[in-house]
Structure 1
Amino acid sequence: MANTTSPSGAARTTLTLLGSLTGAALLGALHSHARPPPATRSPAKAPVPDPAAANRAARRLNRAAGTLAASVLFDSTVEHYRGQFQNRAMYTPLVTAAMALGVSAHGTMDERQTPHVVRDTVYALISIVGLVGTGFHLFNVRRKAGGFSWQNLFYGAPLGAPMAIGLSGLLGYLSERVRETPPGQVPMIWGLPAGRVVGVVSGLGITGTVGEAALLHFRGGFHDPFMYLPVTMPPVAAIVLGRSALGPAGIARRATRWWLRATAILGLSGTAFHAIGVGRDMGGWRNWQQNILNGPPIPAPPAFTGLALAGLAALGLLEDHPDD
């Protein structure tokens, strides 16, 4: 019988890989800081902030929030259907994720440079629902025999799912804060440059999603080498994004952009890999009604795509509105 009380084997291998990649990223960051910084622009020659640039960034954030909401909507539908909706509250993430998807689609197409009261309200509500849902899932795992054991973390309510819908709401809320930027001013959120705030939120979101993927892939014993990709590539993207968001305004961000693009592609390709995994189960796709419920979650990987898109929006804000 597999050991479900302590991590070993594949988990140690994963931690080794993560440590190596983290060290490489940190060495790269130190090397870049050793180079002389670029010349500072004269304040008199600084360009006037373009309101259209803020609107583009806001729409990119709407798109990111919608992508994340779509992933949560379909994943929660499958998971809660498998749980037979034993608790009426299990319908809540379906309704809120659908609302997030709807207002995000509206925001993506909205070229007005003013916030929308309905979108703003829905996004704020969804953020709160995500926090409450996380509490429900923590309680669900804690009340099982053994509490927070590997067994319960593997097969109990997934802790990352409600956090994802909360992140969708938060990204959408941030998009409305960017959209309300007065003409001629730099986008600010909570008194800080918007690009830095969005970058930190996106990086933390990627890190949390990596944790969820690591838990489920550890449960699967990393039987396919491709299962290491979601726990090795996105952590590097989160590190370089955090460096771009918290570092000096003049640092190079080209590598960050490519890591985020790779993470976005990884999320989409992960859907294909999970679909292949479902097809490998007994009966294949002819037995789809059972295999979709018990196989790898097909809608889950695009969560990486949504958060990577948010990170790219943050880079756009940092480059269009430097705060040096």
Structure 2
Amino acid sequence: MSSAVVTALEHLREGCFQRSLCLIVAATSIASGLEVGYEHYKGSYSNPVMYTPVVLSGALAAAGLSGMLSRLAARTLLRWVSVITLVDGVIGFFFHVRGIARKPGGWGLPVTNIVMGPPIFAPLLFGTSAYLGLMASYLRREEDLDRPAQHLTEWFEPQSSDWRMNLRHGRFQKHLSAVTVLWAFFSGVEALYSHYKTNFRYKAQWTPVLLTPLLMAAGVGAMKSRRIANTALPAVAALALADGAAGFCYHARGIVRRPGGIKKPLYNILYGPPVFAPLLFAACGFLGLVASLLRREKK
């Protein structure tokens, strides 16, 4: 194993990867912002609240970049923008539930109206980047790993189980495994009814649906067993990450194959397969991989 990989793993295990995670937050928030932007464009922004995730995704991307450059920005700006974005995702979830209830038949026709109505879990998945941003705001910087003062602080610190202390020192494996389970469920349901709309035309459309329960089971097992967290979880999470990346390529290909192809990019992106949706499933795999590399919480 190369020294660079060993160093990266050590940073992860010690909770010293704030800069790296801030950069990931910025990139994922841009992708999710573009996704929600054109989905709400289809709805003609009929409700002013539909603008909030678009604005917040830009704010979160800027906060992520600021956090990468500044420790203070990571602990203040990124933290509060992440909290506001998470709250916005919860509010959006209730608006989507209400939108389904207002369709003809309401919840009396649950399958039809969930499939044809607003994507019920999409606002919660939008919060993935915000959750990572909140987590990043409590981590330590990469350069803190080699500071003698940091080692002395950890040596003399009380054996505290406070969640903030656990985050700062990379001890949140069970917590992140639980988050992986939750987000995998949301993403898997979204993939299920999105692909159901096209009658599972391609066999590859079954893969995220089949991988979802496997990833959830591995996440639950990782919460209870260190061995599962170090074996089954990274294996299934890597498959989910690869499947999401492959799904992104399939969706991009689907857009290119529409009438007009790349000559009508905006129209075909709007009405073709959601190009960034598979990356949300890949993000679940990413969470699982990170969880497998962390240390377990102090009891």
- Using the size of structure 1 for normalisation, the TM-score is 0.73
Once structures 1 and 2 are overlaid, which stretch shifts more, 299-308 or 89-98? 299-308
Q: Which residue of 1 aligns with 2:60?
A: 100
What's the CA shift for 1:173? 1.6
- 2:163 is aligned, of 169, 172, 189, to 189
Distance 1:252 1:203, change over 3 A: closer
- Contact conserved, 1:120 with 1:176, CA < 8 A, in 2? yes
Bigger RCO of structures 1 and 2 (CA < 8 A, at least 6 apart): 1
What's the CA shift for 1:162? 0.8
Tell me the amino acid that sits aligned with residue 275 of structure 2: I
What's the CA shift for 1:84? 2.0
Distance 1:52 1:286, change over 3 A: closer
What's the CA shift for 1:175? 2.9
What's the CA shift for 1:52? 7.7
What's the CA shift for 1:67? 4.8
Q: Distance in 1 between matches of 2:117 and 2:12?
A: 46
- 1:221 is aligned, of 172, 177, 199, to 199
How many percent identity over aligned positions?
25
Q: Which runs of structure 2 are paired with 1:208-287 in the superposition (5 Å)?
A: 208-244=186-222, 246-251=223-228, 253-287=230-264
What's the CA shift for 1:215? 0.8
Q: Which runs of structure 2 are paired with 1:68-217 in the superposition (5 Å)?
A: 68-107=28-67, 109=68, 116-148=75-107, 149=109, 150-179=111-140, 183-184=153-154, 188-189=162-163, 193-217=171-195
- Contact conserved, 1:261 with 1:308, CA < 8 A, in 2? yes
Q: Distance in 2 between matches of 1:252 and 1:127?
A: 27
SS in 1 for 2:46: coil
- 2:286 is equivalent to residue 309 of structure 1: yes
- Contact conserved, 1:59 with 1:110, CA < 8 A, in 2? yes
Tell me the amino acid that sits aligned with residue 181 of structure 2: G
Q: Distance in 2 between matches of 1:218 and 1:283?
A: 25
SS in 1 for 2:106: coil
Tell me the amino acid that sits aligned with residue 182 of structure 2: L
What's the CA shift for 1:106? 3.8
Distance 1:271 1:248, change over 3 A: closer
What's the CA shift for 1:111? 8.3
Q: Distance in 1 between matches of 2:228 and 2:255?
A: 43
What's the CA shift for 1:214? 0.4
- Contact conserved, 2:161 with 2:298, CA < 8 A, in 1? no
Once structures 1 and 2 are overlaid, which stretch shifts more, 254-263 or 109-118? 109-118
Per-residue CA shift, 1:87-116, capped at 9, x if unaligned?
222111111112222323444x35859961
Q: Distance in 2 between matches of 1:114 and 1:295?
A: 38
Per-residue CA shift, 1:120-167, capped at 9, x if unaligned?
111111111111111111111111211133332223221122111223
What's the CA shift for 1:70? 3.0
- How many residue pairs get aligned? The number is 271
Q: Where do 5+ consecutive residues of structure 1 fail to align?
A: 1-49
Distance 1:230 1:61, change over 3 A: same
Once structures 1 and 2 are overlaid, which stretch shifts more, 230-239 or 174-183? 174-183
Once structures 1 and 2 are overlaid, which stretch shifts more, 56-65 or 156-165? 56-65
What's the CA shift for 1:223? 0.6
Distance 1:311 1:62, change over 3 A: farther
Tell me the amino acid that sits aligned with residue 280 of structure 2: A
Q: Distance in 2 between matches of 1:296 and 1:252?
A: 34
Once structures 1 and 2 are overlaid, which stretch shifts more, 87-96 or 160-169? 160-169
- Contact conserved, 1:137 with 1:159, CA < 8 A, in 2? yes
Once structures 1 and 2 are overlaid, which stretch shifts more, 205-214 or 194-203? 194-203
SS in 2 for 1:242: helix
Q: Distance in 1 between matches of 2:69 and 2:290?
A: 16
Distance 1:289 1:187, change over 3 A: same
Q: Distance in 2 between matches of 1:216 and 1:73?
A: 19
